[in-house]
Amino acid sequence: MTDTASAPRPATVKVDIWSDVACPWCFIGKRKFEDAVQRYGGPVEVEYHSFELSPDTPVDFEGDEVDFLATHKGMPRDQVEGMLANVAGIASEVGLAYDFDHLRHTNTVKAHELLHFAKVNGRQAAMKERLLTAYFEEGRHVGRIDDLVALAGEVGLDESSARTALEQGVHLADVRADQAQAQAFGIQGVPFFVLEGKYGISGAQAPEMFLQALEQVGAEVAR
Amino acid sequence: MTAPSETGASGPFTMLGAADAAACEGDACLVPPVRGDAGDDGDLGDSTRRRGVSR
């Protein structure tokens, strides 16, 4: 018998991830988690859940990210600019090109509705990636229905159906259910990863941390 | 890098990983004050190095 034949088949690990689109650490954490998944080698089933960090943000905020933080938080502009540069630098370490100069600050509830629409249609992972890239790297608007429909089409979703779902708020209840579940779980920050409904991981952890967690939980599932 | 470990419970979960990993809460996201203070992988191993808000 060869080593390959005797090696146990990796067990599927279910990972539920609460995150927001307008969340710099969620995209960075996503890349680090994906690094760990690749190294884990076994099957990992991911499902994204909605979490609105700033639900009172207007859909059309006039100004850039520095304007928003300076006015909304009352922070000195130079301090804001320095912090955004720090975040962009950390993002670049995982291959992300954050462009805060062109970021379109907006409300993300419709983006979350679209993620649920995408989940129903088997494209949630692609939609999540597309939304994060559009928001942080491309300066695309992710709060308006027209813009979201275009992004939906770019990942192969039916634009007409997506528009109807967004205009009618078909998945708003799903967004609210995710948020209620997060509250019930005591989740206060994102990204937040739940493995097999039992283990929680908060924040953009190092890939090695995610990997060890996947191996630990995967071994438990396999038993 | 901080070794992966159980970091206590949060709600119904047994928590794994570093307790001070970068995350966003409310409309605030903690960020490191100085570029390069974080480790090579960007992990923030010392919560005292974090300050401020961003989003």
Q: For residue A172, with 0-12 CB atoms within 10 Å meaning exposed, 13-18 middle and 19 or more buried, which class applies?
A: middle
For residue A132, give its domain range: 11-216
Residue B44 maps to a domain: yes
pLDDT band at A98 (very low <50, low <70, confident <90, very high): very high
Contacts of A173 (CB under 8 A, 6+ apart): none
Q: Decide if A18 is inside a domain.
A: yes
For residue A3, being part of any structural domain is answered with: no
Instruction: Give dist(CA A81, CA A74) in Å, integer.
Output: 13
pLDDT band at residue B27 using 50, 70 and 90 as cut-offs? low
ipTM of predicted complex: 0.88
Partner residue facing B41 (CB), from A85, A203, A206? A206
Answer yes or no: do B43 and A24 touch at CB < 8 A: no
Are residues B15 and B7 in contact, defined by beta-carbon separation less than 8 angstroms? Answer: yes
Provide long-range contacts, Cβ within 8 A and 24+ apart, for A166-172: A166/A110, A166/A113, A166/A114, A166/A117, A169/A113, A170/A113, A170/A117, A171/A112, A171/A113, A171/A114, A171/A116, A171/A117, A171/A120, A172/A109, A172/A113
The label of the residue with tokens 């209620």 reads A180
Question: Is B30 a member of any domain?
Answer: yes
Minimum distance, in Å, between the CA of residue A158 and any CA atom of chain B: 31
Our count of domains for chain B comes to 1
Tell me the pLDDT tens digit for each residue of A158-197.
999 999 999 999 999 999 999 999 999 999 999 999 999 9
Mean pLDDT of chain A: 93
CATH number for the domain that contains residue A114: 3.40.30.10
